[in-house]
Structure 1
Amino acid sequence: MMTYSWYVAKLQKHLPGVTFPGRWWDPINTMEKKTFSIEQFLKHNMHRPVFACIGLTEGDPSWERSFSRWPWGVCEQLVPVKTPFDPEKWAQKTLDLYNWSQPHDSFHPGSWERVANEEMWQARMKTAFFLFDLAENMEKEQQARLYELSYNLYCQIVDTQVDYPANWDKNLALAAERLLRSGGRGHGLDSLLSRSIYHFSHYLQREPTDPQSKAIRSIITHLKKERKKLRDRQKA
């Protein structure tokens, strides 16, 4: 709404504490004297939490220079890039945000209700996905810590549901496999192998046409071999 020239003029007085560094947000001509970029808006409002819901426009990536997005339910909190991130605290902080009760797959395919419902369901696992994605670019010890936290969150989410999005199976399987590769961090190796095998297999049952199905089947075969080796060693 800030892209409309009338928005700031009419709404500013009703939004105490919110600073608008110009007359309107122009994602393209951000250098115009009367306009502002999303980065400028965020910098002028760092005194308060700022959230973006359903994403940010791709037309103005200026915020990426100075801010990061941390998952917050269906939204994301925009924080200065230098803000220290404590994954355990953030996971705990966002754990009970979600109270969506509409059953999954409860609307007709193609309807806007189905799209909105899917958006809400996917929001439940945003923190787990965020931590997993963060782990992919970390060093070993920090990486293992994030994989474990992501895995634990995925387990909490999936284990409490009967019907859920198919990609949750794939994500949990990947988290288990990555944690396994990182040494397990105290989790039983057999348990991680079985988790990964089960959820990869369950995912393929639900999404047999996935373009990566061949690679996933190969991973399942490999994991089964590793589990057999592990069990054989335990018997010896």
Structure 2
Amino acid sequence: MTPLLQLRDVCHAYGEGENRQPVLHHVSFTLAAGEFTALVGQSGSGKSTLLNQVGLLEHAASGSIRLNGREVTTLDDDARTRLRNEQLGFIFQFHHLLNAFTALENVMVPLKIRGQPEKALRERARSLLDRAGLSGLENRFPNQLSGGQQQRVAIVRALMAGPALVLADEPTGNLDSETTGRIFELLRQINREDGTAFLIVTHDDGLAAACDRRLTLKDGRLTGDSAAAP
């Protein structure tokens, strides 16, 4: 079976000439459809840069990245944008909700810009919000929601297009421990019920241990790849 995601010898650096700073060194791994994986490492180890490479937000200096068997490193920006919108979802530590939009409108944004029918979008958005425990809050604005509720709206927004892979960069980094647990359980539920794959950057050892697999970066190199204990 073709892996959902395949990286081979991915390298990346910032700057030019004497200012060139290598960040990733020959990183290779694969993810299967439906995997629930933690990406861990100290600050500055290259985790966010690697997520940017997988998310097609930056061009790798060298190496190969394949998404569903398709080589993406050679695609132009327009093709990368289309592929990113069709197959990837993004969740960040800070939810980046649009303050002038309601929760429902924020969730609808990714597909509304594609010109999809309003009625169908509203039905899907309401269904996902209900699933995330946000029924009745659809018409509230971000400043009327708690931090955990805002992050759940951001998660729902990432799921609107039905992505095969969701990339999460410290999705619970600014939340208290109780809310962190609820957010993690929501991600896990989506993974188990829908088969959506997740690659989650986290500093929380407890969350990483609860994932099916842990990838460890150190100084831009993949130094660990371990499955969860049975």
Q: Which TM-score applies when normalising by structure 2?
A: 0.28
**Higher RCO (CA < 8 A, seq sep 6+):** 2
State which structure, 1 or 2, has the greater radius of gyration over its C-alpha atoms. Answer: 1
TM-score (norm: length of structure 1):
0.28
More strand by percentage? 2
